Each structure stands twice: as structure tokens, then as C-alpha cells.
Amino acid sequence: MTLCPTEDGGDKELRQVGGIEYKCPNLINRGNWHDCNSSPFIARKLCLVYSLGINYDFRFDDAMARNGCEVHSFDPSMGNTTKHIRKSGVHFHPIGIGGKSYDSVIPRMDQYTKKHPKKTWKVRTLRQIMESLGHEDVSTNIASDNGIVRS
């Protein structure tokens, strides 16, 4: 599935995936992202989504949950928001994903962290998160507005 933010202002029907430009005949909106709902990009009913750095914006996450996906949202910068399951079924985790595991990271100051300047973050590797959620045998496709990475 290729996704592109609705705010990008570009031609939302054209996607570049792996260096190949693809015209999507069936573009739909999922929250605040456009999604190509045509083969080979159709989200399977049994799908798993990890949404990173959501900054209080659950629109995409809720839309994917309504599509039948298991969704886990991660963002350590969201103040005192605790681990919970949203009404839509989205699982929220107040932790970050990084190259190493840390229990108490002091983040750099930027537009997201200035709201909670003394807050420290818990950070885990993707492998640790997948193992803790029982997803260690799941293959990954990482989608962004730059294309898809498969592993």
C-alpha cells in the first residue's frame, strides 16, 4: 500500500514505488492520508499497522482500524497520555522506536517536545516492540510518502 499525505499538494493519483511511477485508478482517503486501493496496494483484511509519531492525530490509525487492521500507535511525546485502547480498537503506546533501547531519554527540544520539556521518553527497538506484542514472525512493509521498504 502506498500512502501520501493529503497536505502534499501534488498529483495524488501518481505514486512512485521503488523507482517506478504508478497511476492509481482507485484512490481513497484513509483519515488524513490518501491510499491506493488497487492491486497490488490493497490493504489486506488481516493487516498489522504500526503508526509512529502520531502527535495526537489518530485519523489514519482509526481509518485503518475501521478497515479491519490491527493498529498500534506509538508516540512518546504526547504528554501524560497513557497506554490505552481507543474506541476504534487502536492500541496506543507512549513509547518511541529507535536503534537502541532506553528507559529514560531526554528528547531534543522542538515543536513537539516543548509542550513537555522535562518529560523523558521510553524507547525500544522495532524488534523488541514486535516481540513484546507477539509479532516477531511478521514480515514488514514500511510505507511513507517516499515509497515502500520491504523486509
36-70: pLDDT as tens digits: 766 666 655 578 899 998 888 999 899 889 888 89
The number of angstroms, rounded, from the C-alpha of 78 to the middle of its chain's C-alpha atoms is 15
DSSP states along 63-107:
HHHHTT-EEEEE-TTSTTPPSEE-TTSPEEE--EE-SS-EEEE-P
Contacts within 8 Å (CB) and 24+ apart, 65-72? 65/89, 65/90, 67/30, 67/43, 69/43, 72/48, 72/133
Across 95-107, average pLDDT: 89
- The answer to whether 108 and 119 are in contact (CB under 8 A) is no
pTM above 0.95, yes or no: no
- Inform me whether the pLDDT recorded for 5 exceeds 60: no
pLDDT bin (cut points 50, 70, 90) of residue 130 is very high
pLDDT (0 to 100) of residue 118: 63
